[in-house]
Amino acid sequence: MGYSPISPVPSPQSPIMNTKTWLQLPAFRSKNYRLFFLGQGISLIGTWMTQLATVWLVYSEKGIITEEEATRV
């Protein structure tokens, strides 16, 4: 049987399933960088929520924009 670099289901001993694998990246060894990375992820989610809420507010206040309103600049 030939070598297959991709296993369909990783075993529990596989490095993919190992929870400490991400610590092997040099940047993630620093607690401060891990906290920074987590904070950036949470901030990004907050930005997406704000953008969605803004669009939702505009549509709820104004209603659906007609084609005439969309082409008017």
Residue 22 in this model has a pLDDT that exceeds 90 = no
Between the CA of residue 57 and those of 47, 69, 72, what are the distances in Å? Answer: 15, 17, 20
**pLDDT tens digits, one per residue of 60-70:** 777 766 666 66
Whole-angstrom CA distances from 38 to 25, 32, 34 are 15, 10, 6
pLDDT tens across 24-55, in order? 788 888 889 999 999 999 999 999 999 988 88
Contact between 13 and 20 under an 8 Å Cβ cutoff? The reply is no
pLDDT of residue 50: 94
